[in-house]
Amino acid sequence: MTLFLRQLTRCFRSSSVSTLTTPAVKAPKTVNAVKPKPPRKRLHAIPAYMLVVDESGSTSSSMRMAFGRTTTRIKAIQLAAQDYLRHLRSSNQKQMVGVVGFSERSTLYHPLAPVGQAMPALCRALQSLHPKSTTNLSAGLALAFTQLRTAHTSRGNVVVITDGAVNVETARLPQLTQQAKSSRVRIFTIGVGNNGDSDYNRNLLTHLARSTGGRFMSAHSFKALCNALRRTC
């Protein structure tokens, strides 16, 4: 009897141990972590203005100033653009301004920079403009758009000042116009010259401006040019 009880006790203990044994935990399946997308660059609301200035040979022609005086068109453009910079600075020193010249090709005379800080350098850049040869507006627009992309602004503007008919790479203009519309860049166009002796293409400049939400203006005197520039902001 005693032997039977001992055997029964051993069986009970062994069954209790096996019952209390913790079952093995399965390792969790490996889950491939999804990499987060890089944050999108936020566009700021500070206006940016690219001055795109004609440097073709015709800008050496004369233009009326005040009190019956005359000067070259390129000189009048330089003086009017400096007045425009002072106007922008007085309204908001953080506004961005850059200068591009175009003739047979385009030249970046000054990248986009806050007008309050870069005023002296921007004025020197304007003084560097000088008459050259042909009128390649497409090259000037393309370079201006490149500058505006680096500014990450939601208020990009291109201000074209020209006195001659576009005669180089004209086939690119529709594509550039569409690019401006897609990027929400407004193009303002200003035709410069005295009444009757300017050969800029009014229809082309008007279409380019209206298609992008800008406007075309003609400037037959220095005062008219200053007023036209101020109407772009």
* Alpha-carbon gap, residue 118 to 139, rounded angstroms: 24
Residue 32's pLDDT is 56
113-133: per-residue pLDDT in tens?
999 999 999 999 999 999 999
* Alpha-carbon gap, residue 166 to 200, rounded angstroms: 7
- How many domains is the chain built from? 1
Beta strand extents in 103-185 (DSSP E only): 106-114, 156-162
Q: Kindly state whether residue 30 falls inside one of the protein's structural domains.
A: no
Residue 36's pLDDT is 61
Q: Kindly state whether residue 190 falls inside one of the protein's structural domains.
A: yes
* Alpha-carbon gap, residue 131 to 55, rounded angstroms: 5
Task: With a cut of 90, say whether residue 110 has pLDDT above it.
Answer: yes
Q: Kindly state whether residue 43 falls inside one of the protein's structural domains.
A: no
Question: What range does the domain containing 164 cover?
Answer: 57-230
Task: With a cut of 90, say whether residue 193 has pLDDT above it.
Answer: no
Residue 66's pLDDT is 84
Task: Give the closest residue to 198 by CA, choosing from 165, 176, 229, 231.
Answer: 165
181-192: per-residue pLDDT in tens?
999 999 999 999
Supply the DSSP string of 6-70, one letter for each residue: HHHHHHHHHHHHHHHSPPPPPPPPP-PPPPPPPPPPPPB---EEEEEEE-SGGGGSEEE-GGG-E
CB atoms under 10 Å from CB of 100, counted, come to 27
Q: Kindly state whether residue 31 falls inside one of the protein's structural domains.
A: no
Q: Kindly state whether residue 157 falls inside one of the protein's structural domains.
A: yes
Mean pLDDT confidence for 207-222: 96
> The CATH number of the domain where 141 resides is what?
3.40.50.410
- 126 phi, psi to nearest 5 deg: -65, -35
Q: Kindly state whether residue 184 falls inside one of the protein's structural domains.
A: yes
31-86: per-residue pLDDT in tens?
555 566 655 556 678 999 999 999 999 999 999 888 889 999 999 999 999 999 99
Q: Kindly state whether residue 5 falls inside one of the protein's structural domains.
A: no
Q: Kindly state whether residue 24 falls inside one of the protein's structural domains.
A: no
